[in-house]
Structure 1
Amino acid sequence: MTITIISLLLLASLLPHLTFTAHVNVGIVNGTEARPHSRPYMVSVQKNGKHNCGGFLISDQFVLTAAHCWKGTEILTVVVGAHDLRNISSSDRIGVKTYIPHPENTAKSKNDIMLLKLENKVQLINNVRLIPLPNDGEEVGPGTVCSVAGWGRLAANGSKSNVLMEADTTTINPAECKRKWGSHFLAPKMICAYGAGGSCYADSGGPLVCGDTAVGVTIFAKKEYCNSPERPNVYSKISAYTKWILNEIGKIK
């Protein structure tokens, strides 16, 4: 049976040259509601005022997310300090000044990582905080218990969540990830993880958090189940991009 793969946001019709995947956006399945504002780094990346992807604050003016969350012409906004997306104030919504996808990003999920420079700096208060990044080349070993969070779908065919959901997940040996995903998994630049709960549609761009550090950016999963042991969720490995991230943050004024 042919396995259908998704890389989380773009529809296959938008990328007819791809033969191996349908691109749609991937919510937390089998998760629990997060304690309000316990993840103050989380942001909702929105299109036309509606949640589209996850993201997270890495400085007072930069959000890290997945490159496929922006098609190149859309105008996105981010919502900071939120828990329930039905209850946000105008001050929580910030426009994007500059879109900075990785220069070597491709449609096949390679280098699927993007910086958003916000129009204004955010005020870092109790509900709005930064999350640290790993050092360049830093590795997370297999069997590490980490977590994911987002406002995405609660099931593959379900509705998005209004409140921030979270779940624990465990990193998998890269060789096993490669066996399960084949050529779609690039060990030097990706991490995969599986747990009782995991990411689904509209959680793209959200962080894989190990300890207090964001080590991955949610990029793709299996279409039919969102959290499958045979196709564990895959994340861009942030430590492979730390130099690029710091360079971009430093050079854009």
Structure 2
Amino acid sequence: MQQLLLLVAFLLPAGAGAGEIIGGQEARPHSRPYMAYLLIQSPGGRSACGGFLVREDFVMTAAHCYGRTINVILGAHNIRRQERTQQRLSVLRAIRHPGYSEQRLQNDIMLLQLENRARRNRFVRPVALPQSKTRLSPGSLCTVAGWGLISQNRRTDTLQDVQLRVQRDQECSRRFGPFNGQTQICVGNRRERKSAFLGDSGGPMVCNNVAQGIVSYGSNNGTPPGVFTRISSFLPWINRTMRRFTQQGNQTETSYD
């Protein structure tokens, strides 16, 4: 199934260049203090994804970034260096949306409850989430960030960002059979060589300082548009899940749901 291959291509093994942004530039160091770099261990091996801090004890990412063990790096600019700004935290619990479908590429959202709360400072700070289900208008300008390759064969270890515009749903419906405009956002002008790319899954799309989307899948050569999970469609589940597991606290044993 072509779409499944496209999604898998967004999740590369660590060392193969995870977190790729095409057509962007190096971000100003620590200008996006919500960014998280995920190191994932699963039966298939090691991989990496993007993510973002939404509360001191929760990181949001894509459901297909799931693994048996996940570690989070916050406060990083260069993910290959031991920067003094970095906080490295273990994940206590990975909670995929119950409706996530790997086959249909739907409900691609996951919350990671951290074993210890992040220390909030100017290098590490949560990003705001939408307060309502208001839809972004086509043409809205947003920013996507990630680490890794800046083309199909060029690496970078520093955080990159790129500005992308929201497209009409029809742009993605024509290209991707499973696309659902109610829960997904079509992002990136096909006439521009700008996009999130391989391994950048789970990273945020931020519009006017609010995280509106999560990198989900796209074409296997990085040609826009790409598909992002629409965060506003999942607000009840997000709030309910964070409330539930905060109440449980650390009294339960470490587990992955």
TM-score bracket for the superposition, by shorter chain length: 0.7 to 0.9
CA distance in 2, matches of 1:154, 1:137: 33
For 2:253, the equivalent position in structure 1 comes to none
2:183 maps to 1:189? yes
TM-score by length of 2: 0.83
The 5 A counterparts of 1:212-223 are 212-223=209-220
- AA of the residue aligned to 1:6: L
Q: Determine helix, strand or coil for the equivalent of 2:238.
A: helix
Aligned partner (choices 174, 180, 183) of residue 179 of structure 1: 174
Please state how far the C-alpha of 1:198 moved relative to its aligned partner: 1.4
CA distance in 2, matches of 1:203, 1:41: 15
CA distance in 1, matches of 2:154, 2:178: 28
Aligned partner (choices 80, 83, 99) of residue 86 of structure 1: 80
Task: State, as a whole percentage, how many aligned pairs show the same letter.
Answer: 34
CA distance in 1, matches of 2:147, 2:28: 13
Aligned partner (choices 85, 92, 100) of residue 105 of structure 1: 100
The answer to whether the 8 A contact 1:9-1:204 is kept is: no
Q: 1:234 to 1:26 in 2, by over 3 A?
A: farther
Please state how far the C-alpha of 1:28 moved relative to its aligned partner: 0.1
The answer to whether the 8 A contact 2:37-2:48 is kept is: yes
Unaligned runs of 5+ in 2: 12-17, 247-257
Q: 1:102 to 1:220 in 2, by over 3 A?
A: same
CA distance in 2, matches of 1:3, 1:167: 24
Unaligned runs of 5+ in 1: 12-24
For 2:58, the equivalent position in structure 1 comes to 62
CA distance in 1, matches of 2:19, 2:172: 19
RMSD: 2.3
TM-score by length of 1: 0.84
Q: 1:240 to 1:160 in 2, by over 3 A?
A: farther
Aligned length: 231
The answer to whether the 8 A contact 1:172-1:193 is kept is: yes
- AA of the residue aligned to 1:131: V
Q: 1:84 to 1:70 in 2, by over 3 A?
A: same
For 2:252, the equivalent position in structure 1 comes to none
